[in-house]
Amino acid sequence: MYAQMVKSTGQAVRTRDDMTVEERAFQDRIDRGEKIEPKDWMPEGYRKNLIRQIGQHAHSEIVGQLPEGNWITRAPTLERKANLLAKVQDEAGHGLYLYCAAETLGVSRDELFDMLHTGKMKYSSIFNYPTLTWADMGAVGWLVDGAAIMNQVPLQRTSYGPYARAMVRICKEESFHQRQGFQVMLTMARGTKDQKRMAQDALNRFWYPALMMFGPSDKESVHSAQSMAWKIKMNTNDELRQKFVDETVPQAEFLGLSVPDEKLTWNEETEHYDYSEPDWSEFFDVISGNGPCNAERLKTRKKAWDDGAWVREAMLAHARKSRARREAAE
Ligand code: BYC
């Protein structure tokens, strides 16, 4: 199957002794907490790694519109429709800020879309799962946006200026999304028996995929060490996953729902929840293109790109004509 077939190649972290004088000065700037801006000198590895992460992030935002977009016409009330519509529009905006941030690194938007459509770049595993009932809109907002915030709040302090600044607005909007999702879950959990059953079913299906959003376990993470040294990433995958579990379990309890993990227990010593790891073979299968919805998501994205060709062509033609008119007037 096509999609996301690129194999990760781990980067060895550059020690100070391995670094050139320029690289050492660059690392010193990062260590001092300075922001790196587009025109500043940067190691090629830093630039490439940022394009990979920001590009993947941007793709996740726009592919993430699809499972929720499917529910706009089926939302149960006008208010729910308006909220969901606004949320899905926000995700397009997040994609836009992130594509703009990636473009400052010398990659074009066309190249990024091409890499998404040909499976050379990944997007978040979570969006390869289906959204089967209205309760899934609650679970996505609560858990998926909840996990996104956990990961993205620290990224506001990331070393690359345009990425860090994009994160500020994204995080504000994501926290609104998380609340609207939780509110949908609360209404259903306090509703009829059937509504509560739907809410529990959505939690059962989205719990482990949400845990997988943080990436593979630290042992398997190929980019973490170098990305953290460069402050492209501020925490390890397992640190953020644990934080998410610790914050989300009490919210599930408030909803009167059970987290689908028999091993879940509060550990007095560590002051964290002990929890079961997701099925990592499922995760690697999904990011290799074999998740339940990979093919459908890419097909929909490509169709949107092809259907939008006339808009891009019309805008270019308009720009050409305006320029010609301006030049003729001068
Ligand atoms: N899905 O070395 P690792 C959102 C890949 S948007 C797919 O730990 P890294 C939202 C990874 O790319 C959510 N692939 O990687 C949107 C690497 O493969 P490559 C997106 C994954 O980069 C709309 C390999 O596995 N958020 O929430 O250090 C509506 C090894 O992993 C995943 C971001 O993108 C995954 N879950 O850490 C609602 C945030 N995890 O590239 C919500 C920014 C890992 O070598 N990104 N892989 O072929 C990050 O923070 C980091 O990139 C990650 C992964 C923590 C995701």
pLDDT digits (tens, 9 = 90+) for 156-179: 999 999 999 999 999 999 999 999
Residue 25 alpha carbon to ligand 1 centre in Å: 29
C-alpha 213 – ligand 1 centre gap (Å): 7
Confidence of residue 11 (pLDDT cuts 50, 70, 90): low
CA-closest candidate to residue 138, choices 187, 191, 90: 187
- CA nearest to 142, candidates 178, 188, 174, 109: 178
Q: What are the distances in angstroms from CA 323 to CA 193, 309, 313, 320?
A: 63, 21, 15, 5
What is the overall mean pLDDT for the chain? 95
Residue nearest to atom 39 of ligand 1 (CA): 57
pLDDT tens digits, 195-213: 999 999 999 999 999 999 9
| Ligand 1 mean position, distance from CA 123 (Å) | 7
Q: Which of these, 52, 205, 59, lies nearest to 139 by C-alpha position?
A: 205
Torsion angle, CA of 57/102/85/247, rounded to 10 degrees?
40
pLDDT tens-digit series, residues 59-81: 999 999 999 999 999 999 999 99
**Percentage of residues in the chain having pLDDT higher than 70:** 97
Mean pLDDT, residues 138-151: 97
DSSP letter, residue 265: E
With the C-alpha atoms ordered 258, 261, 262, 265, is the resulting torsion angle positive or negative? negative
pLDDT in tens, 245-268: 999 999 999 999 999 999 999 999
The model's pTM is 0.94
From 33, 26, 91, select the one nearest 58 (Cα to Cα): 91
* Tens digits of residue pLDDT in 174-189: 999 999 999 999 999 9
Tell me the CA distances in angstroms from 110 to 5, 55, 104, 266, one per residue in order: 20, 12, 14, 48
Atom nearest to 8 CA in ligand 1: 45
**How far, in Å, is the centroid of ligand 1 from the Cα of 110?**
21
CA distances from 297 to 2, 88, 130, 288 (A): 11, 15, 10, 14
Tens-place pLDDT, residues 119-128: 999 999 999 9
Q: How many Å apart are CA 141 and CA 136, to the nearest integer?
A: 8
Instruction: Name the closest-CA residue to atom 48, ligand 1.
Output: 8
Residue of 60, 71, 89, 176 to mutate, ligand 1, most atoms within 8 A of C-beta: 60
Q: What is the pLDDT of residue 253?
A: 98
> By mean pLDDT, which of 9-18, 89-98, 124-133, 205-214 is the weakest?
9-18
For residue 171, report the distance from its CA to the centre of ligand 1, in Å: 16
Q: Please give the Cα distance from 226 to 230 (Å, whole number).
A: 6
User: What is the predicted pLDDT for the residue at 85?
Assistant: 97
In the chain, the largest separation of any two C-alpha atoms, in whole Å, equals 77
Q: Are 326 and 318 in contact (CB under 8 A)?
A: no
Q: How confident is the model at residue 6 (pLDDT cuts 50, 70, 90)?
A: very low
Nearest to 212 by CA among 117, 276, 262, 299: 276
